[in-house]
C-alpha cells in the first residue's frame, strides 16, 4: 500500500509539472492583457512601465522559471486586476464553491443511490419507471434553463426561497459557511439542487444498472438461500457491489463540479471560484487563470488518489494487486 501511494504521488508531481508547462505557455500566447488593463489614452512610457511592472518584458521561458520558483514558495503570481496574490483570490472564493459542490454531491448520493437501487430492484414498477424518466430529464435539460426555472418557480412565483447570493454566513474553522444558518441554507438550496440535478441522474443510472446486474448474480441467490433478510441482501450484498462504479464516477465528477460550477454560480450569483474564472478570462487576468487551472489539476489528482484508496477499501481484489505491484 505504501509503495502504491508513493508511486502515485510521484506520478502526480509529474502531471502537475507538465500541466504547469502547458497552462503557462498556453495562456501566455493568447491576447495582450495590457490592451485590456491600461487606459487607452496612456502614452508609450506608461505602457512600457506597466509591461515592466507585470514582468511581461522578459522572454517567456524566463517568466516561466520565475513563476516556477515562486510557485515553490507558494506564490502563483499576482492578479493583474486586483493586485492581490492569485492564490489568495482563489482561496477566498473556494469555500463558497466547495460548499456548493459538496452540498450538490451530498444530494446526488443521498437521493441517487436509493432511487437508483429502487429502480434497479423493481424495473417494471411505476416508481421504477418514473425514476428513470426523471433521470432522463435530469440528463437532458440544460443546467442554465433549469436554474432559471427554479428561480422562476421558487423565488418569483412562490417567493419561498431567495434567488441570489450566499445569505448569512458563519465562520467554521476560519472558513465562511452558509449551511449553518437558516438563511444561508435557504440560499444554498436552489443552486445546490440545480448543480446536483445532472449528477443525481448520473448516480441513479449507475446505481440502477449496477443493481440490475448484481441481483442476477449467483451470490445474491445464494444469500437468499442462506435465509438472509431482504434488507440485509440489498443493503450489504448488493449495495457494496454497486458502490465501486458509483465511487469512481462520483470522484471524477466531484472534481468537475468544483472546477466547472460556472453556470450555476453565474445564474445564482454565487460568489465562488466559477464566477472568478469567468471574470478573469474576460479580463485576461493571466496569473489568476494559470493559478486556477493548476488548482484544478491539483484537485483532480488529489480526488483520483482518494478514489483509488477508497477503491481498495471497497474492492478487496484491487488491494491484492496493489500489494503485488
Partner 1 sequence: MTSNFPTLVVEDLRTYFYTKAGVVKAVDGISFTVDRGEILGLVGESGSGKTVTGFSIMGLVDPPGRVAGGRILFKGDDIAGLPDDAMRTLRGNRIAMIFQDPMMTLNPVLRIDTQMIEAIKAHNAVSNDEARRRARDILGRVGIPSPDERLKAYPHQFSGGMRQRVSIAIALLNDPDLIVADEPTTALDVTIQGQILYEVQKLCRESRTAMIWITHDLSVIAGLADRISVMYAGRIVESGQVDEVLDRPLHPYTRGLIGSVPSENRRGVPLAQIPGMTPSLLNLPPGCAFRARCPRADNACLTPPEMTLAAPGREVRCFHPHLA
What residues line the site for partner 1 (CB under 8 A)?
Answer: 217-219, 221-229, 232, 236-237, 240-241, 244, 314-317, 320
Bridge partner list, 211: none
Q: How far is the CB of 123 from partner 1 (least distance, A)?
A: 12
- Rounded Cα gap, residues 62 and 144, in angstroms: 42
- In eight-state DSSP terms, residue 171 is E
**DSSP letters spanning 190-221:** HHHHHHHHHHHHHHHHHHHHHHHHHTTSHHHH
- In eight-state DSSP terms, residue 261 is T
Alpha carbon 248 to chain centroid distance?
Answer: 14
- Rounded Cα gap, residues 210 and 243, in angstroms: 8
SS3 110: helix
Q: Using an 8 Å Cβ cutoff, are 80 and 287 in contact?
A: yes
SS3 173: coil
Report the phi/psi class of residue 174: left, alpha or beta, with left for phi > 0 and alpha for psi in -120 to 50: left
Q: Using an 8 Å Cβ cutoff, are 29 and 286 in contact?
A: no
Which cell is 117 given? Answer: 437501487
Bridge partner list, 176: 171
Q: For the chain, give the longest Cα–Cα distance.
A: 86
Alpha carbon 43 to chain centroid distance?
Answer: 44
Amino acid at each position: 500500500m505504501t509503495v502504491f501511494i508513493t508511486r502515485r504521488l510521484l506520478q502526480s508531481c509529474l502531471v502537475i509539472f507538465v500541466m504547469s508547462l502547458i497552462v503557462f505557455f498556453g495562456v501566455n500566447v493568447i491576447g495582450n492583457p495590457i490592451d485590456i488593463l491600461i487606459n487607452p489614452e496612456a502614452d508609450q512610457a506608461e505602457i512600457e512601465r506597466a509591461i515592466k511592472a507585470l514582468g511581461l518584458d522578459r522572454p517567456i521561458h524566463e517568466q516561466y522559471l520565475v513563476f516556477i520558483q515562486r510557485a515553490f514558495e507558494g506564490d502563483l503570481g499576482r492578479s493583474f486586476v486586483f493586485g492581490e496574490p492569485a492564490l489568495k483570490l482563489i482561496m477566498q472564493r473556494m469555500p463558497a464553491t466547495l460548499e456548493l459542490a459538496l452540498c450538490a454531491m451530498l444530494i446526488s448520493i443521498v437521493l441517487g443511490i436509493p432511487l437508483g437501487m429502487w429502480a434497479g430492484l423493481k424495473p417494471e414498477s411505476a416508481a421504477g419507471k418514473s425514476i428513470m424518466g426523471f433521470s432522463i430529464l435530469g440528463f437532458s435539460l440544460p443546467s442554465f434553463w433549469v436554474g432559471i426555472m427554479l428561480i422562476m418557480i421558487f423565488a418569483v412565483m412562490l417567493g419561498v426561497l431567495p434567488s441570489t447570493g450566499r445569505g448569512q454566513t458563519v465562520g467554521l474553522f476560519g472558513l465562511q459557511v452558509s449551511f449553518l444558518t437558516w438563511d444561508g441554507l435557504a440560499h444554498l438550496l436552489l443552486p445546490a439542487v440545480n448543480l446536483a440535478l445532472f449528477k443525481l441522474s448520473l448516480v441513479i443510472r449507475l446505481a440502477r444498472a449496477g443493481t440490475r446486474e448484481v441481483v442476477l448474480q449467483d451470490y445474491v441467490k445464494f444469500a437468499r438461500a442462506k435465509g438472509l433478510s431482504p434488507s440485509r441482501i440489498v443493503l450489504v450484498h448488493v449495495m457494496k457491489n454497486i458502490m465501486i462504479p458509483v465511487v469512481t464516477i462520483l470522484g471524477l465528477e466531484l472534481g468537475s463540479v468544483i472546477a466547472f460550477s460556472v453556470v450555476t454560480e453565474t445564474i445564482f450569483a454565487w460568489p465562488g471560484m466559477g464566477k472568478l474564472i469567468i471574470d478573469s478570462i474576460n479580463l485576461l487576468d493571466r496569473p489568476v487563470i494559470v493559478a486556477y487551472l493548476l488548482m484544478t489539476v491539483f484537485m483532480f489528482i488529489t480526488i483520483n488518489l482518494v478514489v483509488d484508496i477508497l477503491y481498495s477499501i471497497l474492492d478487496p481484489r484491487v488491494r491484492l494487486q496493489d500489494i503485488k505491484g
